[in-house]
Chains A and B, each alone.
Chain A
């Protein structure tokens, strides 16, 4: 048994077994929770709007309904809460999915877009584009290119030191991530303090606050939704890939093409999320783990559940960000506060289940 195997054992999953009926119940419950959280996201805030009115406002855009609410409510829902809540749900679902995907490709339950450094890399790419006065297309492109470069560097280090263990991959992600934040600081120090700095700072902590028009979602929709659909459709192959290279190939998987497609999709998703809302850590790690604990490891069932949980979680966090304090909190602060202790809980639980 190689050293890598022995190390992997320490972070192995404990499984829950679930019946078909149990699974259907979980999916329905998650869907119901998503609808409830979404309704709450529209209703809750400094300006309270009854849930009934929220649905009325949404429905009135499509159906001829008598207006029983004031114009202020309409404006708050349509320009403040609806776009940002849609963005939050989308980003949460997308990050959970790309995290689950990375975890299978790297055969490692401890990786995620932020731990691999993809998020901070994408952030550097976006910041560089801002520094060069690039438009939104250039920002998106910069985020994606640097995201891909970072994931390539992170995964190259374990190969260079010839140790493919969990520890080395996570360490290498930490190293690359901190390299990226150093570069980020350089960019900040040379950025124009009046125009560029605020915009760049916005990426580093993550926020949905600036999304106040539905049209702001449009440019990133294709690069989030298309990869999400591709991953969801081919999710069964993730099971096979997670067994390791030789087994996947002898089971008939074309390794280079399949893995390349998954890395491309997950990185596109992560970079697009960075473009929309900046770096948001922990979701890609914590949500797939929670989903696995409830429905088991099979990606066929786990991925759809992780997707729904991700949406619910991010909506919930965004509500807290808006309502906890007078000044709005950054998303990254709360996901870190919740994610880091949860990560420790996972480590403790997994070690215990093996003893």
Chain B
């Protein structure tokens, strides 16, 4: 197992418990989509796995090693993180931004080598966005920024990729392009963990799904099995139905 999460719980400085008793695991080529209402703590859970927040109890194992015993850069060589799109204060070029994925491999007193730039260029090529290479990251579109951030995480060469609401702030077309990209990356052997507000995305990905409920419990299973009409109705407080669509060849979610 690349990632094992055992009996994890989290609360902010002695306040309300966000989640408790969370268990799941992720292997090569698996996708897990985490769903939950606004404020349920999806991002908090993701941030624990990203080594950004320290869980109150429980354990996160990377390839069998406890994450708490690893250095920040050791973790960064296994876990890559795609944050929600935001615009940095400085206008780095897309290439400069992408090569920052090499940071965990670059010494403190060193700068990226020709080889590091080659790996970054390859990632841009791989995503079909080489033409953006010399553009300013601050001046491209939101969809392009999302793709560049994914190129950066590939440059990081991790085993697990975490994505925090990768489809937020994107238009309809770009949302589906990102979902397809995630599926493609799973096929290549990356383990992927993402949060999403759209149950359809979890169904399309056809991997594992998890629902974080208001009491802080996490239900994990095959997307097709746990994303039932009842579960989604309970989750969003709306009458939601999953129906099979012939043309799409899969189940789709509709609000009745």
Chain A interface residues (CB < 8 Å from chain B): 1, 5, 8-9, 11-15, 17, 104, 107-109, 233-237, 239-240, 242-244, 246-247, 249-255, 258, 292, 296-298, 300
Contact = CB atoms under 8 A, between A and B. Distances in A.
A13 B73 contact: no
A253 B103 contact: yes
Interface in B86-108: 86-93, 96, 100-101, 103-104, 106, 108
Given A17-B136, A234-B109, 9 more contacts: A13-B89, A15-B91, A17-B93, A17-B134, A109-B89, A237-B103, A252-B74, A252-B104, A300-B112
Contacts of A235: 111
Given A243-B100, A246-B52, A246-B83, A252 B75 contact: yes
A1 B91 contact: no
B80 interface: yes
Given A240-B103, A250-B52, A297-B96, A12 B73 contact: no
Given A236-B106, A243-B88, A244-B88, A252 B83 contact: no
Contacts of A108: 89
B108 A237 contact: yes
A108 to B, nearest CB: 6
A50 B96 CA distance: 46
B163 to A, nearest CB: 12
A15 B79 CA distance: 31
Contacts of A255: 72
Contacts of A249: 51-52, 72
The 3 closest A-B pairs by CB, nearest first: A252-B76, A252-B104, A15-B91
B92 A12 contact: no
Contacts of A109: 89-90
B72 A253 contact: yes
A17 B95 CA distance: 11
Nearest to B108: A234
Most central of A9, A240, A249 by chain B CB within 10 Å: A249
B138 interface: yes
Most central of B75, B83, B90 by chain A CB within 10 Å: B90
A12 B108 CA distance: 27
Interface residues of B, number: 39
A9 B50 CA distance: 27
Most central of B52, B81, B109, B139 by chain A CB within 10 Å: B109
Interface of B: 47, 50-52, 71-77, 79-81, 83, 86-93, 96, 100-101, 103-104, 106, 108-112, 134, 136, 138-139, 156
Contacts of A244: 86, 88
A292 B91 CA distance: 9
B111 A236 contact: yes
Contacts of A15: 91-93, 136, 138-139
A11 B109 CA distance: 30
B73 A239 contact: no
Nearest to A229: B109
A16 B232 CA distance: 49
B109 A233 contact: yes
Given A15-B138, A237-B108, A240-B103, A250 B86 contact: no
Contacts of A247: 81, 83
Contacts of B86: 1, 5, 244
A240 B112 CA distance: 12
Most central of B50, B74, B92 by chain A CB within 10 Å: B92
A255 B151 CA distance: 23
A169 B160 CA distance: 36
